[in-house]
Structure 1
Amino acid sequence: MPTEKSARLQLIADTALALLVERGMRGLTHRAVDEAAGLPLGSTSNHARTRAALLEAAVRRLAEREAEVLTPTEMPGPEAGPDTLADALALAVHRSLADQRELLIARYELALEATRRPELRKIYDEAGQQFRAPLIAMMTAAGSAEPQRHALSLLGWIEGTLFVHAAGAAHGKPAGPEELRAGVRELLRGMLGA
């Protein structure tokens, strides 16, 4: 059960993510979080003293929320075959586009900020490792000759698909599950020679 302090920090981080979507990086301030969350002025500063601490809290909460896109029972194990892996990845991408578009926009804001702040880059990359490591393990188990490179290529396809449908040329037109599944399967067939 979360403590009052952890619940308050979660509210602050969730509000920070919402403000990033609504106002962009320039609109994210301690005062704006307090006001948007309905907290007494100074509350955000008590939990995240600096801007760097506020951004760190937002990155960590973003990773937690993005990890919820697939339930543990839906996550394929490393032994999963390419079709099972493709089905799970397509489902995750579809849910991200259909249900978590706002989180994607917040992630893009944080990713760009991380290019300018080395301390945030480190936290952003660490948070992303929870998604990369299992994918490398699955590619290894699926028989990839170069699992790290193939996992990175697969992530590139996923990230590109998310971006084009959330903020790019196909903004507002999320791809359907079958279209996504076909794309992932084609990519995996090319990588695995299956």
Structure 2
Amino acid sequence: MKRSETVADAAITLLAERGMRGLTHRAVDEEAGLPSGSTSNLARTRAALLELTLSRLTELEMEVMAVAYERVPLTLDGLPARLAGALRVQLDDRRRTLARYELALEATRRPELREIYDRAGRRFRDPAPAMLAALGSKDPARHARQLVAFGEGLMFDAIAGAGQTPTLDELTLALRDLLTGMLHDEGAGG
């Protein structure tokens, strides 16, 4: 593992456990088991540390979503299970998801982080309209926004809200219901 990954992974853990206030260069060094000053040598500023952490988080989450976004076979029968599997991984690794929420909130206060956060988010959002269009959506942009909002809301409810963590079967059924409703919506175009 590269030192940048070690530092970013430690930062992800700290964000999840201690929140944004607990993320310091010194704390990352301690969490990662690195000599004092190692994180500062890699990411001189807090902004650089946040960017490194967000980049690593995006990389880890893209590995999870890659399975859901595979093109072959793209069917209404197979997609809900693939999406449910990706959501379940995110729910099971609360550490990463909590860290992402911390970064999302911080991005509302730091324009430079907002730009990076939004760019990272597009990697997850941009494939959705084409995927839904291939399945027959009459309004793929709107349906993609709804699909992403559904997944985000479900994760937030399970991890930071008062909801329970759904099983893989419950996720698959919920996504099948959502996608079936979208793709068979006669009023989707207007």
TM-score (norm 2): 0.91
Runs of 4+, deviation exceeding 3 Å: none
The percent of aligned pairs where both chains have the same amino acid is: 54
Q: From 144, 149, 165, give the equivalent of 1:151.
A: 144
Counterpart for residue 170 of structure 2? 179
In 1: Cα distance, 2:49 partner to 2:72 partner? 35
Is residue 2:55 matched to residue 1:60? yes
Is residue 2:20 matched to residue 1:9? no
Q: Which runs of 5 or more structure 2 residues have no equivalent in the other structure?
A: 186-190
Residue-by-residue CA offset, 1:103-123 (whole Å, 9 max, x unaligned): 111010000001111110111
Is residue 2:50 matched to residue 1:50? no
TM-superposed CA distance for 1:130, in Å, is: 1.6
Number of residue pairs matched by the alignment:
185
Is residue 2:78 matched to residue 1:87? no
Counterpart for residue 188 of structure 2? none
TM-superposed CA distance for 1:76, in Å, is: 3.2
Secondary structure of 2:137's counterpart equals coil
Q: From 106, 118, 121, give the equivalent of 1:113.
A: 106
- Alpha-carbon RMSD across the aligned residues, in angstroms, is 1.7
Counterpart for residue 159 of structure 2? 166
TM-score (norm 1): 0.89
In 1: Cα distance, 2:50 partner to 2:23 partner? 9
Residues 121 and 71 of structure 1: is their aligned pair in 2 closer, same or farther, counting only changes over 3 Å?
closer
Q: Which runs of 5 or more structure 1 residues have no equivalent in the other structure?
A: none
TM-superposed CA distance for 1:31, in Å, is: 1.1
TM-superposed CA distance for 1:68, in Å, is: 2.2
Residue-by-residue CA offset, 1:50-107 (whole Å, 9 max, x unaligned): 10000000101001111222565x6431761222111111111112212x11111101
Residue-by-residue CA offset, 1:123-163 (whole Å, 9 max, x unaligned): 11111122112212101111111111111100000001111
